[in-house]
Amino acid sequence: MSDLSETNTICACCGNTARLQQLQNSTQTLCCWCFNRERLRINTETSAHWPTDIELDIAEHYPDLVSPNCASLRPTIGPGWSIILDQFLRSVEADPKFAKSPPGHLQISDVKTTRVGEISIGWHWYFDWVEPYEERLEKLSAITCCLCGHQGDIVRQGNRSEPLCGFCQMPTRKA
């Protein structure tokens, strides 16, 4: 490669246009096709079923972000978005302003997909300092495939609001 910036835009496997992708514990520059091929290879080797087996219960994993009366809060979003939602929740809990907030004064009531294909968070209690984190989550969800988690190259067709990569969109295409 002649330029270091090119290594972040060209797929390491096939040479297609690509972005940096988080795949298990590594970061690789992959197009959606190679990302999914690698994801499926890892699943076969480890007997995992990522990302469809990811179930994020916010009440279980982040009890300080929901009402004490909330027994379970499972988001109604695509499995590919679970990772970026988990990163959002970790960021909010790690913010020093969260530690200074009164207990129970920051509470998530709902997490779902909007009509335009982005993550939407409903709040029972809310602080303004959370807004930059929420905006980042919405922007990431707009460029992240809701089924597999690949970021970039999202295909939107017709009235579908789900952001899908070319790989995940392919089976729905009519021949």
Q: What is the 3-state secondary structure (H, E, C) of the chain?
A: CCCHHHHHCECCCCCCECEEEEECCEEEEECHHHHHHHHHHHHHHHCCCCCCCCCCCHHHHCHHHCCCCCCCCCCECCHHHHHHHHHHHHHHHHCHHHHHCCCCCCEEEEEEECCCCCEEEEEEECCHHHHHHHHHHHHHHHCECCCCCCECCEECCCCCCCCEEHHHHHHHCCC
Confidence of residue 1 (pLDDT cuts 50, 70, 90): very low
Question: How many Å is the Cα radius of gyration of the chain?
Answer: 18
pLDDT of 2 reads: 46
pLDDT of 154 reads: 81
Confidence of residue 14 (pLDDT cuts 50, 70, 90): very high
Q: Which has the higher per-residue pLDDT, 49 or 106?
A: 106
Helix pair angle (82-94, 131-142), 10° resolution: 170
Give 141-164 pLDDT, tens digit per residue: 989 998 888 998 787 766 667 788
Tokens of 170: 């392919």
Most confident stretch, 5-9, 22-26, 101-105: 101-105
The percentage of residues in the chain with a pLDDT greater than 90, rounded to a whole number, is 42
Give 37-88 pLDDT, tens digit per residue: 998 888 777 655 554 445 689 999 999 999 988 999 999 898 889 889 999 9
Give 112-150 pLDDT, tens digit per residue: 988 888 899 999 888 999 999 999 999 999 899 988 889
Judge if the upstream peptide bond of residue 51 is cis by omega within 30 degrees of 0. Answer: yes
Residue 89 belongs to what H/E stretch?
A: helix 82-94
Is the overall model pTM greater than 0.95, yes or no? no
pLDDT of 174 reads: 43
**Amino acid making up residue 66:** V
Tokens of 20: 């940096």
